[in-house]
Amino acid sequence: SISWRHQLPCFGALGFRAIAPDMRGYGRSSVPDRHEDYGMEPITADMIELLDHLGPDGRGRDEAVWVGHDWGSPVVWGVASHTPNRTRAVASLCVPYGFDGGGIEGLVSTVDRATYPEADYPAGQWDYMYHYEENFDASTRELAVNPYNTVVALFRAGGPEGKGQPAITSALRKNGGWFPGMNGAPEMPLDDAVLSQEDARTYAAALEKNGFFGPGSYYMNHGPNADYAARSANGGRLDMPVLFIHGAYDYVCETLDSTLAEPMRGLCGNLTEATIHAGHWVAQEKPVDLNGVLARWLAREVEDCWPIPG
């Protein structure tokens, strides 16, 4: 939930009841010891159960505006597509709707082969997902050697200089891991455009406590997730207001110059798209820009849910 630390105070001050739960495997949530417990079907059920328990008198709420990022995006897409009656609107950062039915192979079909020649990068930027499937224990063990260094290494701002360059995620299997030839993540300067030292320590303490089995297990459910997506209501079509935010410098979930976002455009009847000039960690790198985009969309497209001044 710390990844939404810049959004919760903003929308709380506007009068919304803004909640960011720790997902399974993270923070103070449970850490199941089976990969299948981190699939989208049980996790979206968690979100509906949470909604059922919200409310001043404990009677729950009928619906919510759902906002997700990274693995939180498939979660909110799953909530919207399976329980549209509990979804007033839905927004996602970086990860578009509609591709999950194809599994990793569907993602690989969108790879820009000018940047990732197939002979050198057969899975393109999605190679890291196969790395988890094929080398799960080694992958999570490498990240767990020094959680603080891992956090500092992975939480980096994006920039235009990365365009057209292969992402680090594209060669994990070939290189033998995230940090080949090293004992875990190396020491690096903190990128304070994304997080403070206190933030990094908070992330690291939670990962030290819980380990990386949970976070890594999200990548072990592509088949079940595809099956779940195939059972979406209304053939997967979303008619509620939908907001998708592109990270202009997110070169893994690259959505501006690829076909990754095309299925979403065909499945959403009321879609708004916006672009923020940031890398993958949009909410933390450009919080003011993101808060403005979200607030403007809520005011224009979800006006009836805007809090009424007392």
Q: What stretches of 54-195 show up as alpha helix (H) in DSSP? A: 72-82, 103-108, 127-134, 136-144, 147-154, 172-175
Give a yes or no: residue 220 inside a domain.
yes
How many domains are contained in the chain?
1
Band of pLDDT at residue 267, cut at 50, 70 and 90: very high
Whether 310 shows a pLDDT value over 60: the answer reads no
Whether 118 shows a pLDDT value over 90: the answer reads yes
The verdict on pTM exceeding 0.75 is yes
Whether 57 shows a pLDDT value over 60: the answer reads no
Give a yes or no: residue 29 inside a domain.
yes
C-alpha–C-alpha distance, residues 170 and 153, integer Å: 16
Residues 6+ apart with CB under 8 A from 97: 77, 81, 238, 242, 244, 263, 264, 267, 268
Total Cβ atoms within 10 A of residue 179: 19
Give a yes or no: residue 293 inside a domain.
yes
| pLDDT digits 0-9 by tens, 275-305 | 999 999 999 999 999 999 999 999 999 999 8
Give a yes or no: residue 141 inside a domain.
yes
Give a yes or no: residue 310 inside a domain.
no
CA nearest 205: which of 286, 137, 160, 147? Answer: 147
Give a yes or no: residue 132 inside a domain.
yes
Q: Taking all residues of the chain, what is their mean pLDDT, rounded to a whole number?
A: 95
Whether 308 shows a pLDDT value over 70: the answer reads no
Band of pLDDT at residue 102, cut at 50, 70 and 90: confident
**Domain hosting residue 197, numbered range:** 2-305
Which CATH number do you get for residue 230? 3.40.50.1820
Give a yes or no: residue 165 inside a domain.
yes
Give a yes or no: residue 294 inside a domain.
yes
Band of pLDDT at residue 309, cut at 50, 70 and 90: low
The backbone region for 127, taken as left when phi is positive above 0, alpha when psi lies in -120 to 50, beta otherwise, is alpha
